[in-house]
Chain A
């Protein structure tokens, strides 16, 4: 017994180090295979508020550019609205909507890591829940992963764990949108069959398979493509429409039917 205590006392620093190292490795490895931990993330009260304060100070510096972007988007939406054939007030019946939209602002953005998360200033109070889609005026941004009362973290499309259904515009050939952690303005579209004709510059949009994003939200254009190792699918490099380094105003998309869709899919898988 004496010897055991002596041993512990002699190596107490090493044991402490080992303990802390295993603890942090545990957290890290767990997050590689599962979701981001719901405890250690920047949507928490302290981190969120510090980012919010810093955002409050720095947000004035690029108001002009942001206003320009919003005016541009308004112009585009007005054009769509005025050129629509049927009268648009019937569309606004809230009982028939599939998607509801709320707005938010990015208070923390990352794009240099392999697993990037964005923090926005809307949370459970604004009825934001995990697995809602986040888009900007130019294209998709990511999926809500964790929420606190006032803040939420978004798993960016620049995240190795991100996997989003996408397709070629005006066709129904779909694949998965992933990121290889190399450059922040290029993502990869995989699993498009070889027989699909591709042209550099083709537009990639979100597909209809996802219950998170509406169909036809722009993602980017084809920059380069070649065959994968098995020679039966294309590996496509997609240049993003969004400038991921400069994002401020975002929209959170909620699919009202999502719960029903996922429940149905789960039931089908069980059988």
Chain B
């Protein structure tokens, strides 16, 4: 069972990196919309695991994406931020429920899952585009990018989420 967990996560990790790099980084919808579906890794990662390992793993995930897309360490910074903030976001969305042993993402309501995913994406994109554009003079550009790309990422993540849903165990 334990090894199964690791196996699934390794597969998920490498598939998400490849899909992100080879498909979604080339989408360029309307010339600038490249959804970042690899955030699903943070969304799907088991809740009751070692938190430090999770943060480190997220950093590596972001760095892998950076490595391919020549963006320095911007993806890594954004990903490590949502990985660190994930427990706080979960407490906000699911209430105290999520502290119980029996809590599973699949058991939460649709609205809760949606809010959780949307918050992860918005925080990630805010950090990402602030760092990428890196000037307050272009605040409007940052907001435009955050808004439109968050929307695209959210739609695609929801589609992927329903295609490969986490099994209700």
Binding site for B on A (CB under 8 A): 12-14, 16-17, 20-21, 23-28, 30-32, 36-37, 40-42, 44, 46-47, 50-51, 54, 108-117, 119, 153, 181-184, 245
Q: Are B133 and A181 in contact (CB under 8 A)?
A: yes
Least Cβ distance of A47 to chain B in Å?
Answer: 5
Among the 9-residue stretches B41-49, B77-85, B155-163, the one with 4 or more Cβ atoms under 8 Å from chain A is B77-85
Contact A117 B70 (CB under 8 A): yes
Q: How far is the CA of A182 from the CA of B56 in the complex (A)?
A: 34
With the chains together, A26 CA to B73 CA distance in Å? Answer: 8
* Cβ B22 vs Cβ A37 within 8 A: no
Given A37-B72, A54-B22, A112-B31, A17 and B67 touching (CB < 8 A)? no
Chain A residues, Cβ within 8 Å of B77 = 21, 24-25, 28
Give chain B residues whose Cβ lies under 8 Å from the Cβ of A26.
73
Interface residues of B (CB under 8 A from A): 18, 21-22, 25-26, 28, 31-34, 51-52, 55-56, 59, 62-63, 66-74, 76-77, 80-81, 83-84, 131-134, 138, 141
Contact partner of A28 (CB less than 8 A), chosen from B26, B72, B141, is B72
Q: Is the CB of B71 within 8 A of A113?
A: yes
Known contacts A21-B77, A111-B28, A184-B31; decide if A42 and B72 are in contact (CB<8 Å): no
Cβ A24 vs Cβ B32 within 8 A: no
From known contacts A114-B133, A183-B31, infer whether A24 and B69 are also in contact, taking CB-CB under 8 Å. Answer: no
Knowing A17-B84, A24-B76, A114-B133, the reply to whether A12 touches B52 (Cβ < 8 A) is yes
For the complex, give the distance between the alpha carbons of A40 and B62 in Å: 12
A30 CA / B77 CA spacing, docked (Å): 14
Return chain A residues, CB-CB under 8 Å to B33. Answer: 112
Interfacial chain B residues near A51, Cβ < 8 Å: 68
Identify the interface centre among A20, A21, A26, A37: most chain B CB within 10 Å of its CB: A20
Q: Which of B56, B73, B133 has the most chain A CB atoms closer than 10 A to its own CB?
A: B73
Q: How far is the CA of A248 from the CA of B18 in the complex (A)?
A: 22
Indicate whether A21 sits within 8 Å of B81 (C-beta atoms), given known contacts A13-B52, A16-B55, A28-B131.
yes
Contacts of B31 in A (CB 8 A): 111-112, 183-184, 245
Contacts of A181 in B (CB 8 A): 133, 138, 141
* Interfacial chain B residues near A12, Cβ < 8 Å: 52
Say yes or no: A112 contacts B133, CB within 8 Å. Answer: no
State A41–B32 Cα separation when bound (angstroms): 21
Verify A50–B68 contact, CB threshold 8 A. yes
